[in-house]
Structure 1
Amino acid sequence: MKQCCLVILMIWSITVSAQQERTWEDVWQETMTPEDMEDMDEAWEDYHGYLQQLADHPIDLNHTSREDLEQLPFLSFQQVMDIIEYLDRYGPMRSLNELKMIGSLDYQQIALLPFFTYVGEVAREQPHFPSFHNIMKYGKHTVMATGHVPFYERKGDRNGYLGYRYRHSLRYEFHYSSYVKAGIIGAQDAGEPFLANQNSMGYDTYSYYLQLKKLGILENAVVGKYKMGAGMGLILNTSFKLGKLTTLQNMGRQPNTLRAHGSRSEADYFQGAAAVVRLCKPLTLTTFVSSRPIDATLNDDGSAKTLITSGYHRSKDEMKKKYNTHLSAYGGSISYRLNGLHFGANAVYSTIDRTLRPKTSETYRRYYPQGDNFLNASVDYGYLHYRFSINGETAINKDGALATVNALTFRSSGDLSLIAIQRFYSYRYNGLYAHGFGNTTRTQNESGLYLGITCAPLTHLVLQGYIDYAYSPWPRYQVSQDSHTWDMLLQGTWQWLDWTVQARHRTRLQQKDGSDKNSLIPCNEHRTRLSITYSSEAGWTSKTQADYVYSVYKEMSQGWMISQQTGYQQDTWQACLSLGYFDTDSYAARIYLYERQLQHEFTFPSFYGNGLRLSLYAHVSLNDHLRLATRLGYTNYFDRSSIGTSLQEIAQSHTTDLDIQLRWKF
């Protein structure tokens, strides 16, 4: 342990004066908490992929619109309108530095926007949809192949999995300005068969799409696989479910952009066609139709017990569940927006070819979705003022159960913004595509109030905090009676020249079943993080981070981790080294660590026990069209002789993984 600490301190002392421009992921991870990652589950992989797509095709601020900027999930309604107003008042931007002149943009937005926007030529884009000839002549192509090579075997690799241990994917995308986007992605996880079994067409899963924008009154249309949202997500949100800290950044705005499903995730997507039509200046109509196969665990009578979204088809049991059920959905919304006022009506109807019959003998599942058809309808409403905004949505399901969420935001003339979000989700309310703001992944069985604040008491200091109270009147998983939860966070970010210092503490006070399951006992968790980053344009970067966790549920557990990231960048290549040492009592005190990623790949590993984590990322541009990237990860546990359980068990105390990616743009 002493040797590991000495190594970390040596690296820190060498690189404390290191400098480099950061990536959008480096900035974005500062706005997410580990709990947000867990709550979003596999949906975060798709979310990461969407942000990467936006970064690959940034928005030209001099040729943008409100709809274009609303694609960026970290901007609030007010910030979008302030950017548009600045462009209308002062004309085209000459530099991204002008963003600092827009008072409503905070530190995080100013740091993120350069990765997703740019300042183009002042000359206007063509006013009409381009010709097919120009699309094919000037469109850009991207082909990307990614592979994951583990230098170890899991138990299932020897006996249990149908495929080999390597994970790989192939991605093709065609892009022409903001008008046309098309693509196809093939992917499979480790252990899944390739060109065998039920995967005779090659990959285990494919995603494909064609998206057109600004084609006359047709503002946006997607054929293939897509994601979308409406209102504040109470009946329809397959696009985003932002965390509580991110909510402070965008002031509760729910991005409802219709977008192509361009990731390898198999959760929460539609398959078919959708379109947004501008009926007149203030009035838009959105319609969609979807029909897709899904995985399900079946009861003995052939009905569906649960719907599965993990997308794993590695073993015989998992392969038997592949696409054994069919889900269809139809719906749409009509929206009116004028002079800050907006109003919308939304409806979604779904049918399943098997009756959905969960195990309701478990009390907490009593009001889970049941049957073979589902109907949800809602109205959303709001008003935007330069000082405050009001937004909300109220919904019902076919049984008449109610759900409502309402947000109020206020921004003073100074650097102070406040947000309050009230929600009430009846324990009888449910929706297959509902993902509203809340304390759990289900938009059900919850009443709560969220209060957040962002302020800048000093020139270089930004303070953010929230407090959220949630009450559940019906039992939940591991909670056999009504319960409540408190969630509180305070974060300070000090940024001066090339230095960024961030401190964060989060407390979650919950209730769970005791050993006798007849009473509730506290389940409390405290997480603290301190990070120091130094970066500039000279080519180097350095980030030192310390994490501490204290958890109490039936027994006390605590842990800590110290990590160091060091990087160097030139015009054609970049490298980043990450080293961390962790020591925790149990899984309850696990600690998450962000590491540099390959494009369109997402990992946010957690660590518990005692061990060392090492990661090395590098990429090189071979020429103007080809780029090769790689990431090597090594984890060594000092307190165990095997890693994982069941078919995922690894019969050794250390793992080494290699990721390789080749990107070709032409």
Structure 2
Amino acid sequence: MKGPAITGLALLIGSMGLYAQQNPQAELDIEAFIEERFAFQEEDIPYEDLYESLLQHYFQPLDLQEATSTDLQSLYLLSPKQIESFIHYRDQLGKFVSLYELQAIPDWSLATIQNLLPFVVINSSNPNQSFPGFQRMAKAENAYLLLRHQKVWQTRKGFSIPDTLNNGDLSNRYLGDPNNLYLRFRLQQAADFSLGITLDKDAGEAFTWDPQTKRYGFNFLSFHYALYNKGRLKMLSLGDYQLQYGQGLVFGSGFSVGKGAETITTVKRSSTGVRPYTSVLEAGYFRGIAASYSLGRMEGTLMLSNKARDANLQFILDSMDNASSYLSSLVLSGLHRTENEIQKKAQAREQNLGLNLNYQNTSKTFRIGTNALYTGYSQPLYPTERVYNQFEFRGKSNSVHSLYFTYNYRNHYFFGETAISKSGGKGHVAGLMSSLNSKVDFSMVWRKYDRNFHTFYGNAFSEGSRPINEERLYLGIYFKPNRKFSWSAYYDYFSFPWMRFRVYAPSVGHEWLSKLKFRPNKQLTMFFQFREETKSRNLLSEDQPSSQYLLAQGKRQNIVWSLNYLPDRKWQLKTRVQQSFYKFTGKKTKGFLIAQSLSGEAGAWRFSGSLALFDTDDYENRQYLYEKNVLWAFSIPNFYDQGLRTYLLAQYKINPRLTIWGRWAKTSYTNREHIGSGLQEIPGNKMVETTFQLRYQFNR
């Protein structure tokens, strides 16, 4: 290989086309990153956690001088062939001179590099490493304070004057104001330390100091302090954190996409280890201490967690009038707006003790590891018995153990994990990602999760929201014949051996997606995407015979046409048309949405706006739409019925340290007299929401 000549050519090309070397993180577009990887949006995807996990990658960029193939795969951006080309190039030519040199790597396009830039660096040394700890914190590269306010301006029923009931009591209402407040403080130096505090108050929650109900000003507080790379101590985390090891059967917190328009790189989970938790979701994380220690090719992680959990607490009186309690359910919403919701706050305690041990060979192509997690509750958990949940977890403690591996052979990645829980239920997942040649990539994932497999922090590849009561096979393909065209597709056949919610019999289903993308030049990108899903569900109650439950197949089809045009580097036009169809018991309904957005910048200002029209027959055809929001916030609303959606977003950088955002969004319906239901109901057919945000960056 003619290394110097190629490198010189890369530097020449880079000086013309690649200009984000000094501060690549500034170019991160989270909305574009997520939109590329999700086929269609669903309500059970934790977008808040997904965004926060992306920010962890962003604030702890990967050093390309030391990155392994596993590290590169964890970014979900590179095919096996591209990773193999990177490793081979670095082995042949040694350390990189600059990020411009990435263009010399075979099989790497400019678009690939631009997507990668926000998450990688060259030589991640800390210039302040020699300073004492507190001085290093004071000089941290990523140090900021962020304040955010959100509000819906129409009065929801929960904020109205309560009614007097027949018994003389007042009807239920929210105890707090309609303002949503968010505060985040962060000090972080990549590969050195991270310190952060996140505070959040949802609309309807009272800003009060009441130890009796465990409310202390802001309703939710998250905090962490983490140290990195202190000799053999690879990571020490105090406060809130998440773990991700293996394929997510035991430790599966953090960023994982699964099935989406990206059909290859996202099917495998990556062992990203311990990461600070910075989201405002009030479940799905640990609170305590975790540490990772390295001994040559062996690495071990030990974690301890003890935290309060919201729960429905029930009491039982025995024949001697002795009271005992149990938990009928754990509450995941994190909302404490009414007396009833406040009564569920911190009613249980959850203790976790976990361990990970893994070994990596000298060439870093093979890794094998084991996970173990014990979870105990202060009271036993006995969910209300239903016909479909007979094999759900019941008891006071659970344990789950697993063995996992990954193996990289040239352009092929093999991975798998098998686990068993205290109940005896087992979970298995295995698969491969393969670059068959420079134009074709292939992926396959097989999984089998028993109906009594219990894992509380698992997030493995699955059709359902949890790895339980499911089996079958996923196949994915990506074909790129040239730089202008690409085609991706997947087919997933799944079965549920036991009953599920709203499906009172064993069932099967399938899902497939096809996406054709055309990019004739740097300014224009177009794609067409079709997805079909077939699943069973119970017949409506009036159609059910009294002696048994009958199922029927529901077929959902979604179509997307998208056109993205960049007349120059500062402006962008995006047109999106969506259609959906849903067929169940011979009845077919449909939905439609068309949206036009414009974004750009002028001097210290940045703007974005969108106008969308939607018309759907029912909730089954609800339309999801990506919208730009203030920095590190997300907006993926869904719409049904008929109406108009518009938003305007402005950002102004007052000086290098201070930036402000303002966002206005309005939804107007043409066939409604109210919006929402229950205490969330809004009289009328319009809803207006505003968001204001301020960020002050230190050390700028």
Q: What TM-score do the two structures reach when normalised by structure 1?
A: 0.91
The separation in 1 between residues aligned to 2:198 and 2:256, in whole angstroms, is 23
1:514 to 509, 514, 539: 539
The aligned runs of 1:263-278 (5 Å cut-off) are 263-278=279-294
- Of stretches 519-528 and 231-240 in structure 1, the one that deviates more from structure 2 is 231-240
Structure 2 counterpart SS, 1:318: helix
1:412-431 C-alpha deviation (Å, 9 max, x unpaired): 23221111100011112111
C-alpha displacement of 1:215: 0.6
Structure 1: distance between partners of 2:294 and 2:129: 15
Corresponding residue of 1:526: 557
The answer to whether the 8 Å contact 2:507/2:536 transfers is yes
Per the TM alignment, residue 88 of structure 1 is displaced from its structure 2 partner at its CA by 4.3
1:629 matched to which residue of 2? Answer: 661
Residue equivalent to 1:143: 145
Taking a change above 3 Å as real, the CA distance of residues 208 and 75 of structure 1, as seen in their structure-2 partners, is: farther
2:391 counterpart of 1:380: no
1:48-78: CA deviations, max 9, x gaps? 1221343356445457666865653445677
Partner SS state of residue 336, structure 1:
strand
Contact kept in structure 1, 2:198 and 2:223, CA below 8 Å: yes
Q: Is the 8 A contact 1:193 1:199 kept in 2?
A: no
Given the alignment of the two structures, is residue 413 of structure 1 paired with residue 428 of structure 2, yes or no? no
Q: Report deviation, 1:138.
A: 2.1
Alpha carbons 1:293, 1:327 under 8 Å: kept:
yes
Distance 1:105 1:538, change over 3 A: closer
Q: Deviations over 1:184-240 (max 9, x none)?
A: 010011001112454652100011001111110011221100011221111221223
In 1, the alpha carbon distance for the partners of 2:428 and 2:71 equals 28
- Deviation at residue 529 of structure 1 after TM alignment: 0.3
Match of 1:163 in 2: 176
1:364 maps to a residue whose letter is Y
Deviation by residue 1:224-273 (Cα, 9 ceiling, x = unmatched): 00011221111221223423026624252213321100111112000001
Q: Does the alignment pair 1:364 with 2:388?
A: yes
Letter of the structure 2 residue corresponding to residue 350 of structure 1: T
2:333 maps to 310
Say if 1:133 and 1:306 are closer, same or farther in 2 by CA, change over 3 A.
closer
Pick closer, same or farther for the CA change 1:120–1:598 going to 2, 3 Å. farther
* Preserved contact between residue 189 and residue 312 of structure 1 (Cα < 8 Å): yes
Structure 2 residue 209 is the aligned partner of structure 1 residue 185: no
Structure-2 change in CA distance of 1:364 and 1:200 (3 Å): closer
Q: Distance in 2 between matches of 1:617 and 1:152?
A: 20
Q: Distance in 2 between matches of 1:135 and 1:437?
A: 40
Pairwise CA distance, 1:585: 0.5
Which residue identity lines up with residue 540 of structure 1 in the other structure? W
Alpha carbons of structure 1 residues 289 and 104: separation in structure 2 relative to 1, 3 Å: farther
1-side partners of 2:294 and 2:277: how far apart? 23
The 8 Å contact of residues 78 and 384 in structure 1, kept in 2 or not, is answered as no
Structural mapping, 1:103-252, within 5 Å: 103=106, 109-119=112-122, 131-132=132-133, 134-140=135-141, 141-158=143-160, 159=162, 160-197=173-210, 198=213, 200-245=215-260, 248-252=263-267
Q: Which amino acid aligns with 1:34?
A: F
> After alignment, is 226-235 or 63-72 more displaced?
63-72
How many positions carry a matched residue from both structures?
640
Q: 1:313: how far off? A: 0.8
Aligned partner of 1:581 in structure 2 is 613
Task: Specify the alignment match of 2:689 in structure 1.
Answer: 657
Which residue pairs with 2:680 in the alignment? 648
**8 A contact 1:614–1:635 mirrored in 2:** yes
Distance, in Å, in 2 between the alignment partners of 1:272 and 1:387 is 40
One-letter amino acid of the structure 2 residue matched with residue 549 of structure 1? S
Three-state SS of the structure 2 residue aligned to 1:201 is strand
Q: Are 1:48 and 2:48 counterparts? A: no
Would you say the 8 A contact 2:536–2:553 is kept in 1? Answer: yes
TM superposition shift of 1:622: 0.2
Rg (Cα) greater in structure: 2
Contact residue 309 and residue 345 of structure 2 kept, 8 A = yes
| Alpha-carbon displacement from aligned partner over 1:510-539 (angstroms, at most 9, x marks no partner) | 111113442211111000001000126442
CA distance 1:388–1:56, change in 2 (3 Å): closer
Q: Matched residues in 2 for 1:629 and 1:354: separation?
A: 45
Aligned AA (1:474)? W
2:61 aligned with 1:30: no
Match runs of 1:271-420 below 5 Å:
271-280=287-296, 282-301=297-316, 302-338=325-361, 339=363, 340-360=365-385, 362-420=386-444
Aligned sequence identity (%): 28
Could you say what the CA RMSD is over the residues aligned between the two structures, in angstroms?
2.4
Residues 267, 486 of structure 1: alpha-carbon distance in 2 compared, 3 angstrom cutoff: same
Q: Shift in Å at residue 80 of structure 1?
A: 5.2
Instruction: Measure the CA separation in 2 of the matches of 1:44 and 1:191.
Output: 22
Secondary structure of the residue aligned to 2:353 is strand
Q: Quote the residue 1:551 is aligned against.
A: 582
Instruction: Quote the Cα distance in structure 2 between the aligned partners of 1:406 and 1:564.
Output: 41
In 2, Cα distance between the equivalents of 1:117 and 1:30? 19
CA–CA distance in 2 between the matches of 1:82 and 1:175?
A: 32
> 1:4 is matched with which residue?
none
In the alignment, the residues of structure 1 paired with residue 445 and residue 114 of structure 2 have an alpha-carbon distance, to the nearest angstrom, of 26
Greater RCO structure (CA 8 Å; 6+ sep): 1
TM-score (norm 2): 0.87
**Structure 2: distance between partners of 1:71 and 1:86:** 20
Contact 1:471 1:483 in 2 (8 A): yes
Would you say 1:260 and 2:301 are equivalent positions? no
Query: What residue in structure 2 maps to residue 39 of structure 1?
Result: 44
- Partners of 1:423 and 1:157 lie apart in 2 by 47
Preserved contact between residue 103 and residue 110 of structure 2 (Cα < 8 Å): no
CA distance in 2 between counterparts of 1:97 and 1:292 reads 46
| Contact 2:58–2:119 (Cα < 8 Å) also in 1 | yes
SS in 2 for 1:564: strand
Q: Distance in 2 between matches of 1:101 and 1:440?
A: 42
Say yes or no: does 1:424 pair with 2:448.
yes
Superimposed CA distance per residue, residues 528-560 of structure 1 (whole angstroms, 9 cap, x where no aligned partner) = 001000126442110000000001124321011
Report the CA distance shift for 1:76/1:497 in structure 2 as closer, same or farther (over 3 A).
Answer: closer
Determine which of 484, 495, 498 is the counterpart of 2:523: 498
Which stretch of structure 1 is more off in the superposition, 387-396 or 512-521?
Answer: 512-521
| Per-residue Cα deviation, 1:388-429 (whole angstroms, up to 9, x for no partner) | 121100111112221100012221232211111000111121
After superposition, the Cα gap between the structure-2 partners of 1:440 and 1:623, relative to the gap in structure 1 and judged at 3 Å, is same
User: What residue is the counterpart of 1:560 in the other structure?
Assistant: 592
Instruction: Name the CA shift for 1:77/1:286 in 2 (closer, same or farther; >3 Å).
Output: farther
- Cα distance, 1:584 vs. partner? 0.7
Give the aligned residue type for 2:48. E
549 and 22 in structure 1: CA distance in 2 versus 1, 3 angstrom threshold: farther
Q: Aligned pair in 2 of structure 1 residues 411, 65: CA closer, same or farther (>3 Å)? A: closer
Moved more, 617-626 or 128-137: 128-137
Q: Which amino acid aligns with 2:304?
A: V
Match of 2:610, as an amino acid? S
Counterpart CA distance in 2 for 1:374 and 1:559 is: 44
Q: Which runs of 5+ in 2 are unaligned?
A: 1-26, 163-172, 317-324
CA distance in 1, matches of 2:36, 2:436: 25
**Using the alignment, how far apart are the partners of 1:656 and 1:564 within structure 2?**
19
Q: Structure 1 residue 118: deviation in Å? A: 4.4
Q: Which amino acid aligns with 1:204?
A: N
CA distance in 1 between counterparts of 2:147 and 2:233 reads 33
Q: What amino acid is the match of 2:58?
A: A
In the TM superposition, what whole-angstrom CA distance separates every residue of 1:83-130 from its partner, at most 9, and x where no partner exists? 455344334545545444444657874442123234569xx6579786
Say whether residues 1:606 and 2:638 are aligned partners.
Answer: yes
